Structure 1
Amino acid sequence: MDARVLRFLAIAFGISWSIAALGMAFGVRSATAPGYTVVAGAAMFGPALAALLCAHRFDRTGWSALGVGLRPFRVKPFLATALIGVAIVPVILAGTALLAARFPEAGFGRVVFTSDGLVDQVKVLAAELGAPPMEEEKLGPLRSFPPGLILLGALVGAVVAACTVNLPFMLGEELGWRGYLWGRIAHWPGARRIGFAGVVWGLWHAPLIAIGHNYPGHPVAGVGMMVLLCLALALLFDHVRWRSGHVWTSALLHGIINGSAGSYALFAAQGHPLLGSIAGLAGILGLVLIGGFVVLVDGPYRRSLFARVA
């Protein structure tokens, strides 16, 4: 194992886990607690800070090691990345619906793609957030819009947010994972590179999972599920990083995923966090399906995954 990789991971984990521990020490013990967003947002910058420190202080390689160069600038990788990103929620919703129909008692919940179902789910989500009961008059406009149009609007909004307000936070992770780390392991065989990045990325989330991120009430099993989720995601991130040659497409994909994840909850209800959620088994299977499709249609990338490394 490259000593530079180990040093980077030690610093990245050290920064992020220390921030999470500090948050817990000050009473942030659940994902709905006041201050959780601040703690999670601050922890996201651990990988970027580690990457900057390693690149500038230890390796003396500067920005070139972080994959921030955009020359030559190409639009196609960004468009392909956006297409992958906006496909995730619809594919997982469809998969959840199929799983729920096939295994109705397994905990996959249900998917309701109707205006009335959407209104009911908004009420449930508002109650879970502790908001006062919503008046029917305020919910009336929701009934006049087709659910598909609402989902489309949410996905477009996620793309816009990924390019603007979400970008700095996504770079907080991506400068580390798909910037510095990817540059150190890009020469590894594809399966090893993706597997290593996915496991590391998943384990990095462990303190936030313990607080209640993604899998409330399942601090131990949630870490294992997060590792599986990140393994499924790692293939997609590896693909957009390999295709573009820089970290910006990875940041875009990360921003779209984070920005659109909430739209899943508008149409999927009563699912077990480990099974019928966008971060649960239903989500993982959907991501595997998308990843398989990407590998199938992108011949050069597929061949690179199985190429012999000298």
Structure 2
Amino acid sequence: MSGRDLRSVGVFTALAFALAWLLALPLWFGDGLASSWFTLMATATMMTPAIAALVVVFFVERPKQKAWTLGLWPLRPVRRLLGYGALGIIVPIALVLVALPVGALLGVYPADFANFSAFQQVIDEQAGAAGAADIPIPIGALIAVQLATLPLAAFINLVPALGEELGWRGWLLPKLMPLGTLPALLISGVIWGLWHAPLILLGYNYPDAPGWLGLTAMVGMCILVGTVFGWLRLRSGSVWPAALAHAAFNGAGATYLLFAAAGEHVDTTQATILGWSGWVVPLVLVVALVATGQFAPAKHPSAPPSRKGRSPEHPATGRVTGE
């Protein structure tokens, strides 16, 4: 990497982290995760990597083809983009769900795949609060509806997820690619994980763990899941599949509540996709992708020439297209 690239990465990282901490300050000096502003603050925080990337692109680097640099454009080849977009929806949901039986087999996730007792308890409590005796729909049917609607989350959550992915995989990952694919994926994953510190240290995602353990677990998860998102970015040449993947992943994250046993505690440092048992399948997937050469950036269609007749940089590699 050139000195200019290192400066850009430094400005981006410092700005993304500073903005995340700034937005979290009212929670730290207020009611923390119990604050009525928490959802709004968390959603706003997801936009900080995009703000950092836009500042660097528009005011530090100022490339001619800004949309290309961020991975927003072009939306072609259409077939490839749609294919990886579909994988971006399916794969994260599958990883979140398969983490649950793996955790159950390893003895760290208290599962009830037969009666869905924890979810049944929630439904009964909601029915009681509404003054109804019970819900006239079988619990299995409610579970099926919940699972069937998971892909919709990829579109419902797309805007805030794009707020993160525009920074992490849209801009940062390609900028780090001169270091090598695996170092770029590792470094971007570590940065992504540490960026969560303002909320993780308040108890978000890992409410029962000390701050250092929660943040360490978050970094581990972000490295593995971020590598999967990075694969989608590199192979598609676009940030959109990664954004869909991030949105689907967030939407599926709470499904562990559907299959837990009533009255049992779920330790997220060990169980679910957040904990070590949930990393087994993503790790196997990443190893398989590496072994089969699936992280090689896809060839990208030519773009309109930029200044002095040069083609713009390839959005996933940083190399000039047409070389």
The residue aligned with 2:187 is 196
The count of residues paired between Structure 1 and Structure 2 equals 285
The residue aligned with 1:39 is 41
Which of residues 129, 137, 140 is equivalent to 1:141?
A: 137
2:179 partner letter:
W
Identity percentage of aligned residues: 32
The residue aligned with 2:31 is 28
- In structure 1, the gaps of 5 or more residues are 101-107, 305-309
- Deviation of 1:259 after TM superposition, in Å, equals 0.4
The residue aligned with 2:119 is 121
Distance 2:179 2:127 in 1: 49
Contact 1:119/1:142, CA 8 A, preserved across alignment: no
Distance 2:249 2:164 in 1: 13
**Closer, same or farther in 2 for the Cα pair 1:252/1:144, shift >3 Å?**
closer
Say yes or no: does 1:216 pair with 2:211.
no
C-alpha deviations, 1:115-135, integer Å up to 9, x for none? Answer: x3x2433425997xx997577
Which of residues 130, 144, 165 is equivalent to 1:174?
A: 165
The residue aligned with 1:105 is none
Question: SS of the counterpart of 1:34?
Answer: coil
- Deviation of 1:64 after TM superposition, in Å, equals 2.4
**Closer, same or farther in 2 for the Cα pair 1:3/1:283, shift >3 Å?**
same
Question: SS of the counterpart of 1:110?
Answer: coil
The residue aligned with 2:88 is 81
* Segment of structure 1 superposing worse, 273-282 or 52-61: 273-282
C-alpha deviations, 1:240-278, integer Å up to 9, x for none? Answer: 011110100010000110001111221134222211233
What is the RMSD of the two structures over their aligned residues, measured on CA atoms? 2.6
Higher fraction of helix: 1
**Closer, same or farther in 2 for the Cα pair 1:135/1:21, shift >3 Å?**
same
- Deviation of 1:146 after TM superposition, in Å, equals 8.0
**Closer, same or farther in 2 for the Cα pair 1:301/1:92, shift >3 Å?**
same
Contact 1:240/1:249, CA 8 A, preserved across alignment: yes
Say yes or no: does 1:265 pair with 2:257.
yes
* Segment of structure 1 superposing worse, 209-218 or 272-281: 272-281
Distance 2:204 2:124 in 1: 18
The residue aligned with 1:279 is 274
The residue aligned with 2:105 is 98
**Closer, same or farther in 2 for the Cα pair 1:135/1:295, shift >3 Å?**
farther
**Closer, same or farther in 2 for the Cα pair 1:111/1:246, shift >3 Å?**
same
Which of residues 65, 70, 86 is equivalent to 1:66?
A: 70
Moved over 4 A (4+): 124-127, 130-136
- Deviation of 1:291 after TM superposition, in Å, equals 2.6
The residue aligned with 2:109 is 109
Contact 2:100/2:109, CA 8 A, preserved across alignment: no
**Closer, same or farther in 2 for the Cα pair 1:35/1:286, shift >3 Å?**
farther
- In structure 2, the gaps of 5 or more residues are 298-318
The residue aligned with 2:19 is 15
